[in-house]
Chains A and B, each alone.
Chain A
Amino acid sequence: MEILAVVSVVIAVYMAWNIGANDVANSMADAVGSRALTVFWAVILAGIFEFCGAVLVGSPVTDTVRKGIIDTQAFSHNPRMLAHGMVCAMLAAAVWLNIATYLGMPVSTTHSIVGAIVGFGILQAGLAHIHWDKLGQIVASWIISPVAGGSVAFVIFKLISRYILSVEEPAEAAKKGLPVCVFFTFAVLILATIYKGLKNIHLNLNGPQALAISVAGGLAGAGVSALLIRRNHKYSSRLSAEQQLRAVEKTFAVLVIISSCTVAFAHGANDVANAIGPMAAVVQIIKYNTTPEKVAVQMWILVLGGVGIVVGLATFGYRVMRMVGTRVTEITPSRGVAADLSTMATVLTCSRLGLPVSTTHTLVGAIVGVGLARGITAIDRKVIGSILVSWFVTVPFAAGLTVLFYLIARWLFL
């Protein structure tokens, strides 16, 4: 094994650590913020689901980030150069993430790594070898994902509000409505996971098979939840409308835990690529000294990324999570479920399409969507501003940082 490979592994783990430290808390925010889950359990569950998402669904996005943006043919005469660039890009993205985490800026890991790779691509391959159409697609997906997340969340919350919260007997309506929510949560999750997703563990299913299994899984989940709700809500119809709403929110609390776990799962599937994608390329290049069209992402790489995220979560994410738990008080479980479901569906769909979207920004879009459906009373104007700023700053900054690192490295080692 070469030093460069070791360095790339170390940096990839550092990047994964950053993702775990910063991003993961957001994916569990709805469950922790609505007091459905204590911080301790949120960290444990997030760890498990991030890891599973990274390992089980992780690979397809990796391809796009790595090879879609730069034309690898430009490096065929000198594959090592591409490896060096990828290492610098990873380091730049990770450092930028660390700075942003320190400054409290809401940046996206996906945006950082894409920006970093673009920076290197412009420097070494030239503008002509950047796939601008691919980059355009990716940039578009950053705008599309919050909008899509918001629209889906708007519809879901309108439905929840119309058929459960706003009826004469919310507790009665919940008995019928909640299993439906559970059905969709499970079905979408299972479908997104198994349809072409489980290549990693050598399980290939075609469309109808996957659909059948998801529907079956959704129905099973819905059935179990229906039984549980019936047991817990025996006496609820005697309560006033206000007390019934409270009781319904309590039932939603269970669902928000499940849906937050699925967001963590989707996040793991989507974001692990940011850490391990460039590393997989580096390892491949060193091994064969070529610039391959396609790199098989090996299991151990995904596991490494997953472990890095979990360690980041355990060491630093805990603190961020606690902040989320104490500060986010304006969200209730029913709102959390709507936002989570929408985020999960959007992120998993985009992952399947090979578009690297930001989980944080999709979730933010989803929460605004719930708000526009009159689910959330107010959001902070300044934060919206800083999100927009971070959108514009991240890519150029990560690109610049990569160029800087690359030049320094060349000056030092060559």
Chain B
Amino acid sequence: MGVLEKFFAPSPFVGLQAHAKKVHECVELLRPLTDALLAENYDKIEELHNLMSKTEHEADQIKTGLRDRISSMYLLSVGRLELSQFLAYLDDVADTAEDFAVLLLLRKTKVPEELRTDFVAYVDQVISVSEQLMHLTDKLSTLAEAAFGGEEAREMLKAIEEIGQEEWKADRLERRFARHFYSMEDRIDPVTIMFLDKYCKTLGRVSNNAEKTAKYLRLIIRKR
């Protein structure tokens, strides 16, 4: 047989895209979870939490498979370490999303009516940060086709900056939500306050991790 048909290893970006998609599926579950919490539908939360663990596990499997495959290839256009680290960061996004689901499971928290709009707006913004991250990984293949240079790379770097902007918006919404529920501290019981604070922090970590992942992409693009 000729040597060349065995020579090329499949592009790691296909697996990377699959992983990023699964991770975003986890993050997207935040919205139905939040809706269920606000509707005080705790059975639904239980069900969504199971779905979350399942999706997170699937993402993990994709990641592990991809890592195994990377070890049998020579990666020429991206660094092996960078790619591995990128996968780890993406994984953190899914993990923190799962943390949020676990948090909802711990206590049947009742969220006061007037907080709901701020809460939902914050959750939506967190999801949108993750969605942009997924679009970025989708573009990696095209970027590889342009040999990580030129216009495509510039667009990508711009998009990474924009994710920073989106994350900042999420931070602002987080502060507004937090300020809102602390201003009602004499009307809400302390444990509820504590949990609202935990929701805030966990969601903040989701968007933070998504931003960190995007920023890490710079390294992959800028290699050499």
**Chain A residues close to B by CB (< 8 Å):** 22-23, 25-26, 29, 33, 101, 104, 106, 157, 161-162, 165-168, 170, 241-242, 245, 249, 320-321, 323-324, 326-332, 360, 363-364, 367-368, 371-384, 386-387
Contacts and interface: CB of A to CB of B under 8 A. Distances in A.
Contacts of A375: 76-77, 147
Contacts of A383: 3, 6-7
8 contacts: A22-B1, A29-B4, A167-B150, A242-B152, A364-B4, A374-B148, A378-B11, A379-B8
A408 to B, nearest CB: 29
Contacts of B73: 378-381
Which of B7, B13, B146, B151 has the largest count of A CB atoms less than 10 A from its CB?
B7
B183 interface: no
Contacts of A367: 4, 7
Interface in B1-24: 1-13
B72 A165 contact: no
Contacts of A368: 76
A374 B11 contact: no
A378 B7 contact: no
B8 A364 contact: no
Contact of A381 (B1, B74, B78): B74
Interface residues of B, number: 35
Given A26-B2, A381-B73, A383-B3, A161 B8 contact: no
A176 to B, nearest CB: 15
Interface string B112-154: 0000000000000000000000000000001011111111110
B5 A324 contact: yes
A166 B149 contact: yes
Given A157-B147, A161-B149, A166-B153, A377 B13 contact: yes
Which of A321, A360, A368, A378 has the largest count of B CB atoms less than 10 A from its CB?
A378
Nearest to A322: B5
Interface of B: 1-13, 70, 72-78, 142, 144-153, 155, 223-224
B75 A387 contact: no
A29 B75 contact: no
A26 B3 contact: yes
Contacts of A166: 146-147, 149-153
Contact of B147 (A33, A161, A360): A161
A363 B7 CA distance: 11
Which of B2, B142, B144, B224 has the largest count of A CB atoms less than 10 A from its CB?
B2
Contact of B76 (A328, A329, A377): A377
Contacts of B70: 378
Contacts of A379: 7-9, 73-74, 76
A328 B72 contact: no
Contacts of B146: 161, 165-166, 170, 241, 245
Contact of B11 (A330, A363, A372): A330
Given A161-B150, A162-B149, A387-B3, 11 more contacts: A23-B2, A29-B4, A104-B1, A241-B152, A242-B152, A320-B2, A327-B6, A374-B149, A378-B9, A380-B73, A381-B9
A321 B74 CA distance: 24
Contacts, number: 154
B151 A323 contact: no
A368 B149 CA distance: 18
> What 5 pairs across the A-B complex have the smallest Cβ distances?
A166-B150, A106-B3, A371-B76, A166-B149, A327-B5
A101 B1 contact: yes
A97 to B, nearest CB: 12
Contact of B145 (A33, A332, A371, A387): A332
B4 A324 contact: yes
Given A104-B1, A241-B155, A331 B74 contact: no
B4 A328 contact: yes
Which of B9, B147, B152 has the largest count of A CB atoms less than 10 A from its CB?
B147
A179 B41 CA distance: 67
B9 A364 contact: no
Contacts of A364: 3-4, 7
A378 B150 contact: no
A170 B12 CA distance: 25
Contacts of B13: 377
A384 B224 CA distance: 23
A382 B74 contact: no
B75 A377 contact: yes
B133 to A, nearest CB: 19
Which of A25, A162, A368, A380 has the largest count of B CB atoms less than 10 A from its CB?
A380
Contacts of B151: 166-168, 170, 241
A375 B11 CA distance: 12
Given A327-B5, A364-B7, A371 B147 contact: no
Contacts of A324: 2, 4-5
Nearest to B5: A327
A382 B72 contact: yes
B48 to A, nearest CB: 36
Contacts of A327: 5-6, 8
Contacts of A378: 8-12, 70, 73-77
Which of B72, B73, B142, B145 has the largest count of A CB atoms less than 10 A from its CB?
B145
A168 B151 CA distance: 5
A380 B147 contact: no
A81 to B, nearest CB: 36
